[in-house]
Chains A and B, each alone.
Chain A
Amino acid sequence: MHLGFLVDLHLCMGCKGCEIACKVENEVPLSTWRLRVKYVDVGVFPETKRTFTPLRCNHCANAPCERICPVSALHYIENGIVNIDKERCIGCAGCVMACPYGAIYIDPETQTADKCTYCAHRIASSLMPACVVACPVEANIFGDLDDPASNISRYIMENQGDVQVRKPEKGTDPHHYYVGGGNIQLNPLASVRTEGHNLFGKLTSKMPVGGHH
C-alpha cells in the first residue's frame, strides 16, 4: 500500500477549510502550518485571476528529510507515509534544510520538527485525513496509489497529461499530485512575494524557529 494525495486545483476555491481542519485535528501551534493554502494573483487588472494551492508534505518515496534525519525520527511506515517521532527528534533541523518543499517546521512548543503526516493516526483507525473530510468540494482526493481501483488511481488515469508534482527535478518522487496546476501554483520562484500578505503576520510570540523573514 502506498497512500497518496491528489488535489484538483480546478475544484479548490481557497476556502481554507482544510487548513483549519488540520490545525484543529493536529493542534498545530500558532504561527506554524502543516497545511496551508497559498493565494497567487495572476495578470494585470482587469485581466486577473486568483489561484489557490493547498501545500503540504508530499510524502516523497525518496525523501531527503528521512535520509538526513540522524536518529530516524522521520521514518517510513508501511503504508508509505513519512511519519515523525517527536520523542526521538533532537531538533537538529537537518530535515528543514533538506525538504525542498518547506514542509517541515520546528514546533515552537515542543522544539522538535513537525509536518503533515497524512493524519497517520486517523488512518490507523480507518478514518480519512481531517483535511479531506473538511473540503466542501472534494478537491482533496486521498487513497492507495497501488490499488488501480482506488479513487486517486482512477483520477490520475483519467487526467493523464494534467497531473503534476512539485519540483520533479529534485528526484524526491512525491506521492502528492496536482491536477490543473501550472508553474504559478507549483513553482515558488514563479511569483513575487512581498511582505504584508501573510496570515497572522503580526504574531510576535511563540514564533517558529528563525522567526519570519
Chain B
Amino acid sequence: MVHESLAATQAVVTLDVGLPGIVWGWIITMNMWAKSIGTGVIFMLFYLLKKYPNEAGYLRFPLTVISIVAIHVFLFFTVIDLHQMFRFWHIFVYGHFTSAIAVGSFLATGFVGLIFLLAYASYIKKDNALFDKVLTWTVLLGIPVTLYTAALMAQSTARELWQMPTEAVQMILAATLSGSATVLLVGAKLPYEAKRDMAVVLGFSAFMAFLIYMSEYVFGPMKAEEVAATLEFIKGHGEYTTMFWIGQVFAFIIPMVLVTLSVQNKSTGLLTLASVSALAGLWVTKHVWLVIPQLLSMS
C-alpha cells in the first residue's frame, strides 16, 4: 500500500516534470452523458410501444427527435475534444479496429442513420409498422453504441479504476436511468401505469448503479494499489469528495427515495423532480469517475 511504502522509505520526488493535468475533462463527460440520453430514450420507447402500443404511440416522433438531438450533442462534443478535429475523417479511412474509438465511430454512424430513418418513418411516411420494425434494429445497435465507451475505458490500461465488466453495466444503467428520466419529463400524457413503469426503471437503475459505485468505493482498494490511490481523491478531504457525493445523492439517492414515495402513494407528482435530479446527478457522477484516475502520476 502507498502509505506503508512512504512510511518505510521516506521517498520524496525532488526533481521531475509537473504532473500532467486532466486530458479528458468535461467535454468527454458531456459526450458520455448525452449518449446515455440518446440511446436510453430509444430503449424506453421500445419498451413502451411493446407494453402500451396505443397510449405511447404519440411518443414515437418526440422521442426520436430527443434521441437525434442528444446523439448530435454527443457527436459534437466527441469531435471538439479532438486536438485535430478536422482529421476526424481519418477514422473512416484509416480505421484501426482493435480500438474501441474506431469501432464506436462506425457503430454511432450506423445508429445516426437508423434514428434518421425513424424520423422519416414517423414524420414523413407516418408509417408506424415501418417505424416499429426499424426501432427493433435501432435498439439492437443502441446496445453496443452504449457500451463502446465502456470498452474504451477498459482499453485505457493506465486507469486501473475503469474496469470491465463494471463499466459496461454502469453504461447500460446510465442509459436506462437517463432514458426513463427523460421519458418521465416529456411523457406527461402517458397513462399512470406507463409512468409507474418508467419510475420503476429509474429507481431500479439508480439503485443498481449506486450499489456498484459503493462496492467499488469500499472493495476496490482491497484489490489494487492504484485503485486505492485513485479513490483517495473521493475519500476524506480528497479533492473530489464533495463532488462525488453530490453526484451520488442527486443521481441515485434522491431518485430512489422519490420513486419509492411515488409508487407507494400512486402519485406521479414527485417524478419530475426525481428525473431532473437523476439527469443532473448523472453528469456529476460521470465527471468525477472520469477525472479522478487522471490525477495520479503514472511515472
Residues of A within 8 A of B (CB): 33, 36, 38-44, 50, 55, 64, 67-72, 88-94, 96-103, 105-106, 111-112, 166, 170, 172, 183-184, 187-195, 197-199, 201, 208-213
Segment at the A interface, from B3-11, B107-115, B208-216? B3-11
Cβ contact within 8 Å between B297 and A72 = no
Cβ contact within 8 Å between B99 and A97 = no
Cβ contact within 8 Å between A70 and B16 = no
Known: A39-B14, A88-B94. A67 touches B99 (CB 8 A): yes
- Chain A residues, CB < 8 A from B91: 70-71, 90
Cβ contact within 8 Å between B9 and A212 = no
Of chain B, the residue at the smallest CB distance from A16 is B15
Cβ contact within 8 Å between B94 and A72 = yes
Known: A36-B16, A40-B11. A90 touches B84 (CB 8 A): yes
- Chain A residues, CB < 8 A from B105: 70
Of the candidates B24, B99, B100, B296, the one whose C-beta lies within 8 Å of that of A93 is B24
Cβ contact within 8 Å between A102 and B23 = no
Cβ contact within 8 Å between A199 and B16 = yes
Taking the closest CB of chain A, its distance from the CB of B292, in whole angstroms, is 12
Segment at the A interface, from B137-145, B150-158, B199-207, B251-259? B150-158
Among A97, A99, A208: residue with most chain B CB under 10 A: A97
What 4 A-B pairs have minimum CB-CB distances, sorted nearest first?
A91-B83, A102-B298, A210-B21, A212-B18
Taking the closest CB of chain A, its distance from the CB of B149, in whole angstroms, is 11
Of chain B, the residue at the smallest CB distance from A108 is B83
Complex: A55 Cα to B99 Cα, angstroms: 26
Cβ contact within 8 Å between A68 and B15 = no
Cβ contact within 8 Å between A70 and B101 = yes
- Chain A residues, CB < 8 A from B23: 93, 96-97, 106, 209-210
Within 8 A of A (CB), among B1-48: 2, 5-6, 9-25
Cβ contact within 8 Å between B299 and A102 = yes
Of chain A, the residue at the smallest CB distance from B298 is A102
Of chain B, the residue at the smallest CB distance from A96 is B23
Residues of B within 8 A of A (CB): 2, 5-6, 9-25, 81-85, 87-88, 90-91, 94-96, 98-102, 105, 152, 155-159, 225-226, 229, 294-299
Cβ contact within 8 Å between B158 and A102 = yes
Taking the closest CB of chain B, its distance from the CB of A167, in whole angstroms, is 9
Cβ contact within 8 Å between B99 and A213 = no
Taking the closest CB of chain A, its distance from the CB of B235, in whole angstroms, is 16
Cβ contact within 8 Å between B11 and A190 = yes
Complex: A70 Cα to B94 Cα, angstroms: 8
- Chain B residues, CB < 8 A from A210: 20-23, 25, 294
Known: A39-B13, A64-B157, A89-B84. A101 touches B299 (CB 8 A): yes
Cβ contact within 8 Å between A70 and B156 = no
Complex: A124 Cα to B256 Cα, angstroms: 62
Known: A68-B99, A68-B152, A192-B13. A92 touches B20 (CB 8 A): no
Cβ contact within 8 Å between B155 and A33 = no
Taking the closest CB of chain A, its distance from the CB of B99, in whole angstroms, is 4
Complex: A208 Cα to B17 Cα, angstroms: 12
A and B contact pairs by CB, cutoff 8 A, 20 listed: A38-B16, A39-B14, A39-B15, A64-B158, A68-B98, A68-B156, A70-B101, A72-B96, A88-B87, A89-B87, A90-B82, A90-B87, A90-B90, A100-B158, A101-B299, A102-B297, A189-B296, A194-B13, A197-B13, A199-B15
Among B24, B88, B91, B158: residue with most chain A CB under 10 A: B158
Of chain A, the residue at the smallest CB distance from B157 is A64
Complex: A17 Cα to B94 Cα, angstroms: 38
